[in-house]
Chain A
């Protein structure tokens, strides 16, 4: 028990940080892209145009039926085929994550939009606001309050899922930790540290969600 050596974390910090950075970039890009694409998918699914709604439903159900690791793998080989040239592992991972997350975000956003009463759309329309203005100034701000806890939870899941990029030889935080652990034979220490990092991130995200929720509820 006495021979835990956590200095391995300090010694390998730059290497671990690089992995952490990759995980962060993947998470942030997939979140931003996934939110935009997810919003478009959600609107498409709620739209009056049947074909559009069906296409969006197919997309969402398709991506949700497939494990993420397969999507990552698939895009790694698919993107070069489509573009005719290799783009590297990172861009293909970014695309895969964004498209995959969009499917999940769209479901959260759709539920959030549907939670805003129809009367709000009517009131805004009756005042002369165009649909896009209604969405931006009236519906989305309200929907966001319903969605935020779920969006943050999804972001945490997404951060954890970045570990899957090892299948295309990218080094995310978890993969880096694994490499260090095996190299220095300090598995317990390094994996405990990794768990701590995940734990802190998860707790901060849920605290933020809770805090925002409480602040909004007061008004």
Chain B
């Protein structure tokens, strides 16, 4: 049932680990199906605090589904998934408490179009964390400066470019002071000239020690920022190795094929 049982998964972690050694994300034999269609067929994955995991693989391999399981946006039928100490297989898991600590950035930004940038950043901190307005706004302004948009606080999302919207979306997730950030193809809906500004913000975040899971095809970013690479194919984690190792010599044929196709254009 699990990928390990197939002998298909290769796991090895390297690099320094922070003091707290408890994994931030730990998936064991994760299975999910939509009706009769299996999406995840036994995923195993460990992500420790401070690590940046880049999840890649062909489309339809279950990357987005896997990452959406990590904050309970998607449920699953079998296996276990522990995120920041909360077991998601437990039906009584406190999803609200978990989501308050796990930020998510979406492919299509999903900013709230009826709210200004500042209101976008303050909504969840005020309603979920019960922060005072002045406190939330101060934090929001600091984050807008951090993502390079200090002058846009009173703009509406529709007045911003795609790259700016995605940077606001990152700031919005950071406004909750998350312990883990999930990125679901954050640059795949962007025009090429805007990808760099978003990846730049993400790279800085990685350097600051944020624990991140990033679904992306941006291999340049992966090389620069990822501590390990997770390669998925057909609902399984086929490879989970250090970044250097992955790019130097992917162990599985499927990952090698995928990489050569991705890097050849």
Contact = CB atoms under 8 A, between A and B. Distances in A.
A142 B113 contact: yes
Contact of A128 (B96, B112, B156, B158): B96
Interface of A: 117, 119-120, 122-130, 133, 137-138, 141-142, 145, 216, 219
Ranked nearest first, the 6 interchain pairs of A and B with the lowest CB-CB distance are A123-B110, A127-B124, A128-B100, A128-B128, A126-B104, A128-B99
A219 B156 contact: yes
Contacts of A137: 123, 127
Contacts of B102: 126
B108 interface: yes
Contacts of A219: 114, 156, 158
5 contacts: A124-B124, A127-B124, A128-B96, A129-B128, A219-B114
Contact of B106 (A122, A128, A142, A145): A122
Contact of B112 (A122, A133, A138): A138
Nearest to A126: B104
Interface residues of B, number: 25
Nearest to B74: A122
Nearest to B123: A137
B106 A123 contact: yes
A187 B123 CA distance: 58
Interface string B107-128: 0101111100000000110011
B176 A128 contact: yes
B73 A127 contact: no
A141 B112 CA distance: 10
A142 B115 CA distance: 10
B108 A119 contact: yes
Interface in B157-177: 158, 172-173, 176
A128 B73 contact: no
A142 B123 CA distance: 15
Interface in B217-239: none
Contacts of B80: none
Contact of A142 (B99, B114, B128): B114
A127 B172 CA distance: 9
A129 B156 contact: no
Contact of B99 (A119, A120, A126, A141): A126
A142 B157 CA distance: 13
A53 to B, nearest CB: 19
Contacts of B108: 119
A128 B102 CA distance: 9
A130 B113 CA distance: 19
A126 B73 contact: yes
A129 B124 contact: yes
A196 to B, nearest CB: 37
B71 interface: yes
A122 B100 contact: no
A25 B197 CA distance: 57
Nearest to B127: A133
Interface string B64-100: 0000000101000000000000000000000011011
A129 B127 contact: yes
B112 A120 contact: yes
Contacts of A119: 106, 108, 110
Given A120-B110, A141-B114, A219-B114, A126 B127 contact: no
A130 B112 contact: no
Nearest to A122: B73
A128 B110 contact: no
Contacts of A142: 112-114
Contacts of A216: 114
Contacts of A122: 73, 106, 110
B117 to A, nearest CB: 12
A123 B157 CA distance: 14
A129 B172 CA distance: 13
B83 to A, nearest CB: 13
Interface string B122-150: 01100110000000000000000000000
